[in-house]
Chains A and B, each alone.
Chain A
Amino acid sequence: MMIKRPFFWMIVATVAVFAIAPLVGGIGVRESLFLAAIYMILALNLNFMIGYTGYVNFGSIVFFGLGGTLGIFAITVWGWPLWAALIGAGVVVAGLALLLGLGILRLRGAYFALATIGVVEATKAFVSNFDPFGGSTGMYISFSAYKPLGGAREALWVAYFLLVAVLGISLLLSFWIKRSRFGLGLFAIREDEDAAMVLGVKAPLFKAIIYSVSSVLPAIAGVLFFFKNGVIQPEQAFDLTLSIEAIVMLMLGGQGTVIGAALGGFAYEQFRGYLLTSSTFSSFHLVIAGALLLLIVLFAPGGLIGWAHERWAITRKVLE
């Protein structure tokens, strides 16, 4: 029955393009798409909190960074194979997020946003001081860690395809939650949490669960990113700016919609890449990105998809 749904084919098409394009276009294309996939995964999972539940998580990057740190630790220190590190990081981060969520999700609005910033900074500071994780210099992956996958060159391809799979799962999960009973409860919380609770939605539990769910795939993506990177440093792993950039992606595409989140992540990567490489704009890329964000917030707060929904009523039905 899923095969009949348009979204299913959208996922298939996205994954196919991501899988085939670098085989045709080469390593340059792969590098660009790898980053695009990371951005899309971050935006799609952040969407669960901001778009679906209405909780502005400013610190979503903590999942990415913590997943990366734990995964790379398991690989380099304990010698775990990549697949085990991915699963392990996902499970541990999900568990931590669930516990953390039960605490900080008691806060609402701006208070919650501030707390999430605090969580990123506290975690970053802790990891930078924690010697088993390499302290502030971080951890380096030795060449031997890539051997089981057939060498460094092959390992990079493996990491890429695994990341594309994570992207596919993110999309699938996004649609699935959006159409589920659980998702309906989340949307009710987004619109009016008190009213939702009076209607019977167990808001504290729902929020903690979605917070935890939104942490798993970014954690796994973090392991893959830093596995491919070869080194992980706390400053890079827990970069608050990337966390906020993920919100920008979401705003660009349109929060609450799956296509918007995915499109926003992809477009932002392309846009950023263009600004950074262009000779005229490269030094001004921050200014231009900031101005763009300001324009979106002031004049098109629904993002691309929201704007389309206002124009044409049909898009509401077709694009979710």
Chain B
Amino acid sequence: MTGVIVSIINGLLLGAIYGLAAIGLTLIFGVMKVINLAHGAMIALGMFALYLLVSWLGINPYLAVPVVGVGGFLMGFCIYWIAVHRVIGRAELMSLLATFAVSMIIVGVGTVLWSTSPYNVQVDMPGLSIGRYTIPGNHIVAAVVAILVAVALYLFLYYTRLGKAIRAVASNRQASELMGIPSTRVLAIAFGIGIGIAAVAGSLIATLFPFTILSGASYELKSFVVTVLGGLGNPAGALLGGLLLGLIEGSVSPFVSVSWTPVIEFSLFVVILILFPAGLFRVGRGR
């Protein structure tokens, strides 16, 4: 029984990070209706950015996380102007392909630089013991950081001028343009924030597991699942969706072989998408 509980706790901790990663994806979709297929690549880049900061400069991994976030933001800001700006408002296919092209370029460069062999970041952190089970300390810290970042984003979106501008553009771009909001710049900033969050999520994952430049893909898929659970374009729902996914993984893993989890996850994903396209949670959407 303790085993199951510990497994669920571990699942929830991971779920917080899935949730954070998905917030990056869902924020971008919510604001500009673009499904960012470079999401996974940016997660992977966040992993390697953390690795480089830690191994070259010798900084504490957790201090490097905000640096990765800022770097991700700047990179996202540039990607917006290069690849995304011209496809805003065009058919979905175009934005899907533009961001996929960015993903190909990033993964391609990453493969040349780091090949596809695994890297890892060493983190020493005492774990929490429950009976004969241990909850690893780095998982706890990562989950806490993930939730803090999510809360910070929430405060930013609801209580700052820029955050309000982002929400205004998300709900009606033309109207906010008429209100004097420079919507294009706001879109670029929102895209930057989304990418920054993806990079932070990647850097947190890097403190937990070994990774390759291709690792981002599986987290991108998890982000899709989470996003659909929480409702596309709904950041608060994404965090709950992430926790739900973590809960599912945690409660399923003691009973079935790990390899079956994706079957359950993705079947659930398709079914929920068909039955509840607005997501399971109606939080943070007003009224």
- Chain A residues with a Cβ under 8 A of chain B: 50, 56, 58, 103-104, 106-107, 109-111, 113-115, 117-119, 121-122, 124-126, 128-129, 136, 240, 244, 247-248, 251, 255, 283-291, 293-294, 297-298, 301
> Does B105 lie at the interface of the complex (its beta carbon under 8 Å from any beta carbon of A)?
yes
Task: Report if A294-B93 is in contact (Cβ < 8 Å); known contacts: A103-B274, A111-B273, A284-B112.
Answer: no
- Do the beta carbons of B96 and A58 come within 8 Å of each other? yes
Residues of A within 8 A of B87 (CB): 297-298
Task: Report if A104-B97 is in contact (Cβ < 8 Å); known contacts: A287-B105, A289-B104, A290-B105.
Answer: no
- Complexed CA–CA distance, A185 and B47 (Å): 48
Interface readout for B229-266 with A: 1 if CB under 8 Å, 0 if not?
00010000000000000000000000001011011011
> Does B92 lie at the interface of the complex (its beta carbon under 8 Å from any beta carbon of A)?
yes
Task: Report if A125-B94 is in contact (Cβ < 8 Å); known contacts: A104-B274, A110-B33, A293-B104.
Answer: no
CB distance from B193 to the nearest CB of A (A): 20
User: Taking chain B's interface residues, is the majority helix, strand, or loop, or is none over half, making it mixed?
Assistant: helix
CB distance from A253 to the nearest CB of B (A): 14
Interface core residue of B92, B217, B228 (most chain A CB under 10 Å): B92
Residues of A within 8 A of B102 (CB): 290, 294
> Does B100 lie at the interface of the complex (its beta carbon under 8 Å from any beta carbon of A)?
yes
Residues of A within 8 A of B154 (CB): none
Smallest CB gap from A248: residue in B: B97
Smallest CB gap from A128: residue in B: B259
Residues of A within 8 A of B232 (CB): 110-111, 114
- Do the beta carbons of A291 and B274 come within 8 Å of each other? no
CB distance from B95 to the nearest CB of A (A): 9
Partner of A285, one of B90, B108, B259, B263: B108
> Does B14 lie at the interface of the complex (its beta carbon under 8 Å from any beta carbon of A)?
no
CB distance from A299 to the nearest CB of B (A): 9
- Do the beta carbons of A114 and B273 come within 8 Å of each other? yes
Task: Report if A115-B107 is in contact (Cβ < 8 Å); known contacts: A109-B92, A121-B262, A128-B259.
Answer: no
CB distance from B144 to the nearest CB of A (A): 30
> Does B224 lie at the interface of the complex (its beta carbon under 8 Å from any beta carbon of A)?
yes
- Do the beta carbons of B274 and A297 come within 8 Å of each other? no
- Complexed CA–CA distance, A297 and B34 (Å): 14
CB distance from A314 to the nearest CB of B (A): 26
Task: Report if A125-B270 is in contact (Cβ < 8 Å); known contacts: A110-B232, A286-B111, A293-B104.
Answer: no
